[in-house]
């Protein structure tokens, strides 16, 4: 299939005009100017970018991945695919050992089937002081036997884990996961600056939703935020949904870490794509009002109701750059950086997966191609 468009952003380059040729589920060639043959789809005055990569998403369409059912995964995936997310790493929250093992076994099958791109265990090895929308009664110290059971159940599908490095046994757990090829993130943590750097030296390479559920910066104890921003080996997640961080904080993170070390995520929960009401995140009830999710009866934010196109447009609007550099930045942070941080393949180049999003003049999604097939047809 050959596609042409007025603008194609491959990742590093902007082609005006541009063309993309796919073969099966991959990209055969990309170029600028006149295409090598008549196009199958002349997309016209649109912008084509690589598919969005969401490395931290709990659900959508009224369902959550932690339900560990085919129907729940299908409902959640459909919502996010329609908004341009072509790679999804299913996140599950803190759960009891048997429940977590069941979730991993089921989701691993969906990874092998190509529906999901990995599993993210956001817990249970977190700080009860920074529990957020996790049940603190189910949090626990890392246990080597449990870790081995989860790795065996995942059979390579567990792609990322979030750990609070101050918990007893956490540094050994970080090393165990890193040795197994799992990306380790620091999050939901009360760790000191020094302890966070120890975690990075042990193998942690991601900061889970920076600033949220994390010890704040103090003038004499910088804490995890500064440590994660400073270390060149760390990619930091930011939820740019207009709720979790202020625009100035987003710009500060980009300036501090550099554009290549920031990943935009949704942290989306079951209410994504749905109306306001009461939902669940793990074992906790969540009230959604005005599109903002909070643990029932509290002011604690419980994930988001955002999709990747929304966080992409937020970055465009609030990064403080002119239009073309802003487009480069938003593509980098919503596609290339998260893929690189988790070892996924993305980008519009020969040999890459045929994953792309078509945007109109207002950067709304008008078409989505995943693995060479239209999820949303132009």
Catalytic residue numbers read 267
Residue partners of 131: CB distance under 8 A and separation at least 6: 94, 139, 188, 213
Crossing angle between the packed helical segments 170-179 and 144-154, to the nearest 10 degrees: 30
| 41 labeled binding residue | no
| 302 labeled binding residue | yes
Tokens representing residue 247 in the block: 């625009």
Tokens representing residue 286 in the block: 């969540």
| Distance (Å, whole) CA 338 – CA 239 | 13
| Distance (Å, whole) CA 15 – CA 19 | 8
| 213 labeled binding residue | yes
Exposure string for 182-221, b = 16+ CB within 10 A, e = fewer: bbbbbbbbbbbbebbbbbbebbbbbbbbbbbbbbeeeeee
Q: Are 124 and 150 in contact (CB under 8 A)?
A: no
Query: Which among 332, 205, 313, 184 is positioned nearest to 258, based on CA atoms?
Result: 332
Helix (H/G/I), strand (E/B), else coil: 249: helix
| 373 labeled binding residue | no
Q: What is the largest CA-CA distance in the chain?
A: 64
Looking up tokens 């045929």 gives 354
CA 145 to chain centre: 28
| 169 labeled binding residue | no
Q: How far apart are the first and last CA of the chain?
A: 13
| 133 labeled binding residue | yes
Tell me the torsion sign for CA atoms 63, 369, 113, 155.
Answer: negative
| 239 labeled binding residue | no
Tokens representing residue 261 in the block: 């070390």
DSSP 30-51: EEESS-SS--SEE--S-EEEEP
| Distance (Å, whole) CA 27 – CA 138 | 45
| 188 labeled binding residue | yes
| 56 labeled binding residue | no
Query: Residues annotated as binding site for substrate?
Result: 133, 212-213, 220, 244, 301-303
Query: Residues annotated as binding site?
Result: 122, 133, 188, 209, 212-213, 220, 244, 301-303
Query: Residues annotated as binding site for Zn(2+)?
Result: 122, 188, 209
């Amino acid at each position: 299939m050959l596609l042409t468009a007025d603008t194609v952003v491959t990742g590093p380059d902007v082609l005006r005009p541009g063309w993309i040729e796919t073969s099966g589920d991959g990209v055969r060639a990309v170029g600028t100017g006149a295409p090598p043959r008549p196009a199958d789809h002349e997309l016209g005055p649109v912008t084509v970018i690589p598919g969005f990569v969401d490395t931290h998403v709990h659900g959508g369409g009224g369902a959550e991945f932690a339900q560990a059912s085919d129907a729940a995964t299908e409902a959640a995936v459909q919502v996010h695919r329609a908004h341009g997310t072509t790679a999804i790493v299913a996140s599950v929250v803190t759960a009891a050992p048997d429940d977590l093992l069941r979730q991993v076994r089921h989701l691993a099958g969906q990874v092998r089937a190509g529906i999901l791109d990995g599993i993210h265990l956001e817990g249970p090895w977190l700080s009860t002081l920074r529990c957020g929308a996790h049940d603190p009664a189910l949090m626990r110290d890392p246990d080597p036997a449990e870790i081995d059971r989860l790795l065996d159940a995942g059979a390579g599908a567990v792609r990322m884990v979030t750990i609070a490095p101050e918990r007893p046994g956490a540094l050994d757990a970080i090393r165990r996961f890193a040795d197994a090829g799992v990306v380790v993130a620091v999050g939901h943590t009360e760790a000191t600056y020094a302890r966070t750097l120890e975690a990075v030296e042990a193998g942690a390479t991601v900061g889970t939703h920076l600033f949220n559920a994390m010890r704040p910066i103090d003038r004499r104890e910088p804490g995890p935020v500064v440590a994660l921003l400073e270390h060149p080996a760390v990619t930091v997640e930011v939820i740019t949904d207009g709720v979790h961080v202020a625009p100035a904080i987003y710009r500060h993170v980009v300036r501090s870490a550099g554009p290549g070390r920031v990943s935009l995520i949704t942290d989306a929960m079951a209410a994504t794509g749905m109306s306001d009401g009461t939902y669940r995140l793990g074992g906790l009830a969540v009230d959604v009002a005005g599109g903002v999710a909070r643990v029932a009866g509290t002011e604690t934010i419980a994930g988001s109701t955002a999709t990747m196109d929304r966080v992409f447009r937020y970055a465009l609007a609030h990064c403080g750059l002119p239009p073309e550099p802003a487009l480069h930045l938003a593509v980098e942070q919503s596609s290339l950086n998260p893929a690189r941080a988790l070892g996924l393949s993305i980008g519009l180049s020969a040999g890459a997966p045929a994953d792309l999003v078509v945007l109109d003049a207002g950067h709304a999604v008008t078409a989505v191609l995943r693995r060479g097939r239209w999820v949303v047809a132009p």
